[in-house]
């Protein structure tokens, strides 16, 4: 793993003593910027009837793209926003804001407004291996 990702994961590991820990903007920057994040989505909605994995690339220039299990490909812009991040999708929801928490060894994403799950982070890969 590259330096920023490893440093962020080590920081997250140190916070494991608490049941649930929100990530701050520095941690999110290390996890997201320039990386492809693979989310595990449950059945229904963007997860399609069976759920599945959704890679999402967060470009350092604010570009974001996702390939959802239901076959939809999204593109837009993203930015860190306080204790979370927000995405304006060109072909989807605008002002879609997310907070990220570490809970019992898992990294979870939650809708900032409703608190509903947006999926778990399964893995993070440097760069854009999916060419999103």
pLDDT per residue as tens digits for the range 88-100: 999 989 999 999 9
Q: What separation, in Å, do the N-terminal and C-terminal C-alpha atoms of the chain show?
A: 21
Q: What is the DSSP letter of 126?
A: E
Nearest to 39 by CA among 22, 59, 55, 58: 55
| 132 lies in some domain | no
| 131 lies in some domain | no
In sequence order, the β-bridge partners of residue 97 are: 86
- Domain tally, the chain: 1
The label of the residue with tokens 């837009």 reads 76
Q: Is residue 6 very low, low, confident or very high in pLDDT (cuts 50, 70, 90)?
A: very low
| 33 lies in some domain | yes
Report pTM: 0.83
**Predicted local confidence at residue 105, as pLDDT:** 83
Task: Taking residues 100-125, report their average pLDDT.
Answer: 92
**Predicted local confidence at residue 5, as pLDDT:** 53
How confident is the model over 16-70, as pLDDT tens digits? Answer: 444 788 999 999 999 999 999 999 998 988 888 899 999 999 999 999 999 999 9
CA dihedral (68, 33, 107, 20) positive or negative: negative
| 9 lies in some domain | yes
The label of the residue with tokens 């060419």 reads 131
Q: Is residue 10 very low, low, confident or very high in pLDDT (cuts 50, 70, 90)?
A: very low
- CATH number of the domain that residue 47 is part of: 2.40.128.640
> What are phi and psi for residue 94, nearest 5 degrees?
-105, 150
| 95 lies in some domain | yes
Q: What is the DSSP letter of 46?
A: G
**Residue 52 structural domain:** 3-126
**Predicted local confidence at residue 14, as pLDDT:** 45
**Predicted local confidence at residue 3, as pLDDT:** 52
In sequence order, the β-bridge partners of residue 119 are: 109
**Predicted local confidence at residue 44, as pLDDT:** 85
In sequence order, the β-bridge partners of residue 72 are: none
């Amino acid at each position: 793993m590259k330096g920023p990702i490893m440093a962020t994961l080590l920081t997250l590991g140190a916070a494991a003593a608490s049941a649930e820990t929100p990530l701050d903007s520095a941690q999110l920057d290390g996890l997201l910027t320039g990386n492809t994040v693979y989310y595990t989505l449950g059945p229904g909605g963007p997860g399609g009837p069976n759920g599945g994995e959704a890679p999402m690339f967060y470009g350092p220039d604010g570009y974001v793209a996702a390939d959802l299990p239901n076959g939809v490909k999204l593109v837009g812009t993203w930015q860190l926003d306080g204790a979370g991040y927000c995405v304006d999708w060109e072909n989807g929801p605008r002002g879609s804001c997310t907070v990220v928490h570490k809970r019992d060894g898992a990294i979870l994403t939650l809708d900032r407004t409703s608190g509903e799950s947006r999926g778990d982070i399964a893995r993070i890969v440097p760069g854009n291996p999916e060419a999103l």
